[in-house]
Amino acid sequence: MALTSHFKCPLWTSKVRKHKDLSSPAGKLIFAENLFMRDFIIIGAAQAGLSIAYFLKKNQRDFLILDKENEIGASWLNRWDSLSLFTPSEFNNLPGMEFPSPKGYYPSKEDVADYFKKYAREFDFPIKLEILVEGLEKKDDYFEIKTNKGNLQAKNVIVGTGPFHIPYTPGFARNISPEIFQVHSNYYKNPSQLHPGKAMVVGAGDSGFQILDEISQTNRTVYFSGETNVKVLPQELLGKTLFWWLKKTGILGFNKDHWIGKKLSRNRQPIIGTDVKAILKRENVVSVGKTIYAKNQIIQTEKAELTNLKNIIWATGYRPNFNWIEGLELSKDGYPKHYRGVSNIKGLYFIGLPWLYTRGSATLGGIKKDAAYLAEYIEGNSNS
C-alpha cells in the first residue's frame, strides 16, 4: 500500500431513497439542467448532516443531502476493524431516534453505520450518494456547488463534513524506503495488513494507543513513538460510565467562551478507556520518544535510531481542508470562522466541527443541540 498522506478532501456521501435518474450519455449527472434550485444543500450524510436534516424536515424545508461515499455510514465503516465507541449507547442518540442498543453497550463501527442507515430511512431524507463536492462559490443570491457529476444551485448550504479531512503524516515520511510498509490510521484495518517483522506506531491519541494495543498482541516487537505521559480516563467509574459523570457535572455543556470551556479546549484531550500504562509495560513494546527524521531505512527518534523496521502506522491525525469554499474566512488552525456554525458568508453554515460550541459538539449525542440551534437560527435568518 502506498503512503497514505496524499491530499484528498473526503466531502462525504450517502444514500437512502432513489431519485429520478439524471444521467447524461456519458453517465454524468447534470444537476444544473435537471434539478430545480434547492433551498438547502447539505454536504455530508454522517451524524452532522443527518442531524440538521432532521430539523430541516421538521420545519418543512426543501433540501438535498450530498455525500461522496457509496453508502451511508462509510466514514465509520472505513476505519479499523476493532474500532468501538467509548460512549455507551444511551449517549449516542441523534435527534428524534434513540440508538438501538441496550444501555451501557459500547457500539462498534458497524452498529453506528447501521444506525445511520435506519435513521435516514426512518425520516426518508433525500440523499444522493457518490457526489463529491469539489467547489462552492457564492453568487449574488445563491450558491454554485461544483461536483464530480455536474453543478447544483442552492439558496443556502450547510457543510457537515466533520473534522477529519486530510490524513496527516510528516513530510519526511516520503523519504522512507518503499520496503517499509507505511499506513495512516485512517486506512489501517487490522494487523493482517502488516509485513512480518517489527512495527512502529506513531501518535499518542486514542487511535494510536488502541492500534498499539492491538498490534502489540501479535508476535512482534512494536516501537511506540509519541508522548507517554498522557492523561487517561476510565470508561467507567464507581459503577457509572464516564459520560454519565461528564453529563452529571456539566463538563460537556461548557461552551468555548466560558473560562472552563476555554481551558478544556486548550488542553490535550485525554485517552479514554485504554490502559496505556499496561500496554507500555509489555515486554515487546518499546517507547522511543518522538520521531524526528527518517531517510531510507533509518528512522531517527528521540531515544533510538531504528534500522530494522518493517511497518509504520501513522496515527498522526488530520488537517482540515476548506479551501474548496470560495471567500471563506479561516482561523489560524484552518477551520472556518463562525459563531455556532454561522459563517461570514450569508447562507453558509457549518455543523460537526470540533468545539463548534461545546466539547460535545463533535459527539453523536451532543451534536443535536448544535443542530437545533442552527435550525432555529435558519428559521429567522435564511435566504429561503
Chain segment 97-114, per-residue pLDDT in tens: 999 999 889 999 999 999
Both 120 and 203 in one domain: the answer is no
Both 223 and 335 in one domain: the answer is no
Tell me, what's the pLDDT at 23? Answer: 34
Asked if residue 13 has pLDDT above 50, the reply is no
pLDDT tens, position by position, 266-275? 777 777 778 8
Both 175 and 41 in one domain: the answer is no
| CA–CA separation, 242 and 99 (whole Å) | 18
| CA–CA separation, 368 and 363 (whole Å) | 9
Residue 364: left if φ>0, alpha if ψ -120 to 50, beta else—which one? alpha
Query: Considering the domain boundaries, does residue 253 fall inside one?
Result: no
Both 150 and 207 in one domain: the answer is no
| CA–CA separation, 282 and 68 (whole Å) | 41
Query: Considering the domain boundaries, does residue 12 fall inside one?
Result: no
Note whether 312 and 199 are within 8 A (CB).
yes
Both 303 and 175 in one domain: the answer is yes
pLDDT tens, position by position, 177-225? 999 999 999 999 999 999 999 999 999 989 999 999 999 999 899 999 9
Examine the fold and report which residue of 290, 316, 342 is the final residue of a domain before the chain moves on: 316
Note whether 29 and 19 are within 8 A (CB).
no
Local confidence band at 256 (pLDDT 50, 70, 90 cut-offs): low
Contacts of 330 (CB under 8 A, 6+ apart): 322, 336, 337
Both 274 and 187 in one domain: the answer is yes
Give the CATH number for residue 200: 3.50.50.60
Both 132 and 192 in one domain: the answer is no
| CA–CA separation, 214 and 191 (whole Å) | 8
DSSP H helices, 22-176, are 31-34, 47-58, 74-77, 109-123
Mean of pLDDT values over 136-142: 92
Query: Considering the domain boundaries, does residue 13 fall inside one?
Result: no
Examine the fold and report which residue of 316, 331, 351 is the final residue of a domain before the chain moves on: 316
Three-state DSSP class for residue 366: coil
Q: Which of 73, 162, 358 is nearest to 372 (CA)?
A: 358
Both 105 and 193 in one domain: the answer is no
Element at 348 (helix H, strand E): strand 348-350
Mean of pLDDT values over 251-277: 70
Q: 306 vs 245, which has greater pLDDT?
A: 306
- Tally of structural domains, the chain: 2
Burial call 203-228: b when 16+ CB within 10 Å, e when fewer = bbbbbbbbbbbbbbeeebebbbbbee
Over the chain, what is the mean pLDDT? 84
Q: Which of 40, 137, 52, 140 is nearest to 384 (CA)?
A: 40
Q: Hey, what's the cell of 164?
A: 477529519
Name the residue type at position 35.
L
Both 302 and 341 in one domain: the answer is no
Cβ atoms within 10 Å of 318's Cβ, excluding its own: 16
Element at 372 (helix H, strand E): helix 367-381
pLDDT tens, position by position, 168-186? 999 999 999 999 999 999 9
Q: Hey, what's the cell of 95?
A: 435527534
Query: Considering the domain boundaries, does residue 47 fall inside one?
Result: yes
Which residue has 527518517 as its cell numbers? 294
Mean of pLDDT values over 73-79: 91
Report the percent of the chain where pLDDT is more than 70: 82
Instruction: Provide the pairing of β-strand 150-159 with 348-350.
Output: parallel
Cβ atoms within 10 Å of 353's Cβ, excluding its own: 22
| CA–CA separation, 291 and 194 (whole Å) | 20
Examine the fold and report which residue of 279, 296, 316 is the final residue of a domain before the chain moves on: 316
Both 211 and 101 in one domain: the answer is no
Query: Considering the domain boundaries, does residue 260 fall inside one?
Result: no
Both 186 and 155 in one domain: the answer is no
Tell me, what's the pLDDT at 268? Answer: 73
Query: Considering the domain boundaries, does residue 221 fall inside one?
Result: yes
Mean of pLDDT values over 227-233: 84
What DSSP letter does each residue of 258-311 carry, written as one string? SHHHHHHHHSPPPEES--HHHHHTSTTEEE---EEEEEBTEEEESS-EE----E
| CA–CA separation, 164 and 269 (whole Å) | 16
Both 222 and 122 in one domain: the answer is no
Q: Which of 167, 170, 276 is nearest to 224 (CA)?
A: 276
| CA–CA separation, 126 and 61 (whole Å) | 12
Three-state DSSP class for residue 61: coil
Domain that holds residue 179: 169-231+268-316
Asked if residue 24 has pLDDT above 70, the reply is no
Query: Considering the domain boundaries, does residue 308 fall inside one?
Result: yes
Q: Hey, what's the cell of 62?
A: 426543501
Residue 60 burial by Cβ neighbours in a 10 Å radius (0-12, 13-18, 19+): exposed
| CA–CA separation, 88 and 318 (whole Å) | 25
